[in-house]
Amino acid sequence: MATVLNRKDFVSDQEVRWCPGCGDYAILAAVQKTMPEFGIAPENTVFISGIGCSSRFPYYMNTYGFHTIHGRAPAIATGLKISRPDLDVWVVTGDGDGLSIGGNHLIHTLRRNVDIKILLFNNRIYGLTKGQYSPTSEVGKITKSTPSGSIDYPFNPITVALGTHGTFVARSIDIEQKHLGEMLKRAHAHRGTSFIEILQNCSIFNDGAFNDVSDKALKADHQLVLEHGKPLIFGKNRDMGIRMNGMRPEAVQLGATVTEKDLVVHDETNLSLAFMLGHFEAPLPTPVGVFYAVSQPTYDGAVNQQLVDAKAKNGAGDLRELLSRGDSWTVN
Amino acid sequence: MAVPPEAAEQAAESHESAASAPKPHVKRDQVVIRFAGDSGDGMQLTGMQFTSESALAGNDIATLPDYPAEIRAPQGTLAGVSGFQLNFSSNEVFTPGDEPNVLVAMNPAALRTNIGDLQPNAVIIVDREAFNESNIKRAGYTSNPLTDHSLDKFQLIEVDVSKLTSLAVHGLGLNNRAAFRCRNMFVLGMLSWLFQRPIDNTITSLKSRFKKTPELIEANIRVLTAGYNYGETTEMFASSYEVPAARIAPGLYRNITGNSATALGFVAAAVKAGRPLFLGSYPITPASDILHDLAGYKNFPIYTFQAEDEIAGVCSAIGAAFGGAIAITTTSGPGMNLKGEAIGLAMKVELPMVITDVQRAGPSTGMPTKPEQADLLQAMYGRHGEAPVPIIAASTPADCFDCAYEAVRIAVKYMTPVILLTDGQLANGAEPWLLPDPDKLAPIKVEFATNPEGFLPYARDAETLSRPWAVPGTKGLEHRIGGLSGENLTGNVSHSPANNELMVRTRARKVAGIAREIPPTGVFGDASGDLVVLGWGSTYGPIREAVKRVRANGKKVSHVHLRYLNPLPGDLSETLKRFKQVMVAEMNMGQLLKLVRAEYLIDAFGFNKIQGRPFKVSEIENRINQVLEG
């Protein structure tokens, strides 16, 4: 039956051309390593991207691939998935491609719950156009286009996705290979739009953008790994936790007075909790993992069901009958 | 208004007393009727229903709906007037008619808006009660046109439509508003009598239209019948008219609008190609009906995706094309602007799809419900870089079927996006359509690549220069395509200067090569002469009729009408050069004119109209005569 797939089945013959030290290498490695586990042949897998550094991704995957135009990958993927529900469709996008020029397509794809997997590489900068601020750049950021500091308030990809009632919303980090692999597996197993924000370093234009959560020395104290059904605990010594103080979350030291029982227990099906976690900012830790995952009928599934229903009700389309429908008359 | 029951019975049953003395029929060859009223008065429905009756009676017909962009402009105002014009004849009909000989005006605004278009001595039928002081004022009249003798050169027929309608529905428990809304059926009934049209078909259609509200079926049928009987009974009409059936080619016919024909052309193409049809579209006037129609044909199978915007409409279609569907998108001018980048992508990666632009009057939002032909150069050149795309234009509502079908055939054969141009007049206008035999439609062959041996995504067919269609799911053909300049044969990203030029020229040659299969250019009239009128799209009707008329007067004038606008037919240059003068008549500032002048170094000149209204036959006829007189 199915032959066992391995990493090489997903590696194309094209030379990878990202900058040395780019976080995209790590993401590509994680994807190529994880894909064989899905047991889906490369010919049934399609990677679709827009424009930007991240969007070169399909060239390096030995699957079907389509490097399209800026921001439009979710729309192209939607058309493909609706008409070819048999395919495993992935979208690779970035913070500029997905949240700025293509923001409309991203939110509507999530809203519809089309069964595609969206990987949004967030490096909080425009890389391919050589270093302008992006819709996720922090206020005050000095870039080529903002010499006096950016005055735009940034988007938070997680809360944007949650705001559309996206059915699977997660975050991971480029160099966290194990965690990223786990998130890819969860995303793939989910039926509906899966959205993963992948925090990604740009070694040229925004180096160290996520140092606090990716640097080995710092990350334990700044990363909060979300696990369904488990209390929110973090810290080098696993002695910090998140507790509710009235309606507000706070970081607390575990000890004699505060125990695990006092902490918030993560529930992936709780949208309010997901929003709260999505809004975490320093001094609270940065959550990674699955914020929200619920099961809901997919758009492509419903569309194809309507076709099946129409055929069951009216029979297969009959062109001759259709053409002569309505009032017709014969001229002799 | 309380109505005595006796009066209602009288209105509904008065025909019985008069039926014994039928009035004479007067024969007419051709009648042009315009129905005009508030946009809520149901004039489009009335017009379409009368059209169906006339088509069933065997007339040749052409229609032109003319409605405002506002769904319901303030009642009684000029801005809110909605019109529907119908030309029905016992001869061949090419246009909806220049000047109506019958106008139905449901209120003063409708009268004022349309009076200038009428033939002298035309019949004007008005709802007398609608000519009250406030409506008269709202229409901008200073005195009542029904009484101030300003209509003396017309045959004015005043009917108490509103009152007779409410009498007819008395006892059904309808509120005033609902009763008032049946007025259009009274008019339809009256005109059906006047032109001896059976109303059975309208009754059937009312029954299906108001399926869910049986009380409205009853009301509308009562009013329709009352109108019909009123025509017979009233002394206002001395006779009824008869427009005998036209002599048209034998076969099975139905009445069809351009948008419906476009939708059916795509369905037929997908069926013949043996692939599902995918429409990605965003609602826009006047194209939305194609989406509505196709959404009802899901069992074929047809996917219709109402996208979040115009760009997603075209992009979803590109995705579906990548997956092997017959992919289409539909729009109008503003949407064409937005789709430009994506069309360029489809052209560059060489995926088949059809973009339908139902042109409307621009620029910008322009006049959304009015036709124009000013998107031709956008279709030709509206993309960055060298991005040639085949263009096909439909010339009549029924021709939309053939053109939609042909557009898909070319797209699939040449692996290219194709632009189909129609316009608001074709979209909503209707004519009888001789139903095609599905078995006799040109074949549309879809052959997906399957053999991995030596597979190259941009290898080309020697004759067509078409590349293989290799769809995801095919083992061993995994490949990547994209907008970046691609290497010959492999499609891999390449920035080689020579390769780029090779690819640009190859794609251009592929599109130009389609000219091989364009049939010889047909000339209506002699193959040479003093003047040829060149046209494309919906100007077909008025040009053909005008050329017929001047030829009947012995003028050496011919008509050439183009379906293929890119590439142009290979024999067009020599065809045009056989005439002393070439006049290009278009509803724009001279776009085809620019193309033929640039392509053929012909000193052609233009005749142009940019009013959101089709040419009148007389306008073209007069212009031809002026030109010939030098």
Asked if the Cβ–Cβ distance from A84 to B315 is below 8 Å, we say no
Mean of per-residue pLDDT scores for chain B: 93
Residue B5 clears pLDDT 80, i.e. is over it:
no
* pLDDT tens track for B118-158: 998 999 999 999 999 999 999 999 999 999 999 999 999 99
Residue B265: list chain A partners with CB under 8 A: none
* pLDDT tens track for B350-392: 999 999 999 999 999 999 999 999 999 999 999 999 999 999 9
Confidence (pLDDT) at B16: 42
Q: How confident is the model at residue A247 (pLDDT cuts 50, 70, 90)?
A: very high
Confidence (pLDDT) at A2: 54
Is the CB of residue B12 less than 8 Å from the CB of residue B168? Answer: yes
Residue B265's nearest CA partner among B405, B458, B169 is B405
Q: How confident is the model at residue B21 (pLDDT cuts 50, 70, 90)?
A: low
Confidence (pLDDT) at B630: 84
Q: Which domains does chain B have, with CATH numbers?
A: 5-242 (3.40.920.10), 254-440 (3.40.50.970), 529-628 (3.40.50.920)
Which residues of chain A from 292 to 321 reach within 8 Å of chain B, CB to CB? 303, 306-307, 310-311, 313-317, 319-320
Asked if the Cβ–Cβ distance from B58 to A332 is below 8 Å, we say no
Q: Prior bond to B286 cis, omega within 30?
A: yes
What percentage of chain A has pLDDT greater than the value 70?
99
Task: Provide the greatest CA pair distance for chain B.
Answer: 91
Confidence (pLDDT) at B234: 87
Residue B66 clears pLDDT 90, i.e. is over it:
no
Residue B577's nearest CA partner among B549, B558, B550 is B558
Residue A60's nearest CA partner among A122, A18, A109, A114 is A18
Out of B56, B251, B323, the one facing A84 most closely (by C-beta) is: B323
Residue B326: list chain A partners with CB under 8 A: none
Out of A67, A104, A307, the one facing B298 most closely (by C-beta) is: A307
d(CA B214, CA B557): 57
Confidence (pLDDT) at B6: 41
> Any idea which of B417-421, B429-433, B610-614 has the lowest mean pLDDT?
B429-433
Residue B448 clears pLDDT 50, i.e. is over it:
yes
* pLDDT tens track for A266-286: 999 999 999 999 999 989 999
Residue B18 clears pLDDT 80, i.e. is over it:
no
Asked if the Cβ–Cβ distance from A75 to B249 is below 8 Å, we say no
SS3 at position B630: coil
The token duo for A276 is 């709260």
Residue B158's nearest CA partner among B99, B223, B220, B111 is B111
Asked if the Cβ–Cβ distance from A323 to B436 is below 8 Å, we say yes
Confidence (pLDDT) at B91: 92
Whether residue A72 lies within 8 A of chain B, CB to CB, comes out as yes
Pairs of CB atoms within 8 A across A/B: 209
Question: Closest residue of A to B58, CA-based?
Answer: A331
Asked if the Cβ–Cβ distance from A327 to B52 is below 8 Å, we say yes
Asked if the Cβ–Cβ distance from A104 to B309 is below 8 Å, we say yes
Q: Is the dihedral of CA B440, B446, B451, B456 positive or negative?
A: positive
Asked if the Cβ–Cβ distance from A329 to B303 is below 8 Å, we say no
* pLDDT tens track for A60-75: 999 999 999 999 999 9
Q: How confident is the model at residue A39 (pLDDT cuts 50, 70, 90)?
A: very high
d(CA A105, CA A173): 24
Distance from CA of B57 to the nearest CA of A (A): 9
d(CA B297, CA B290): 11
pTM reported for the whole predicted model: 0.93
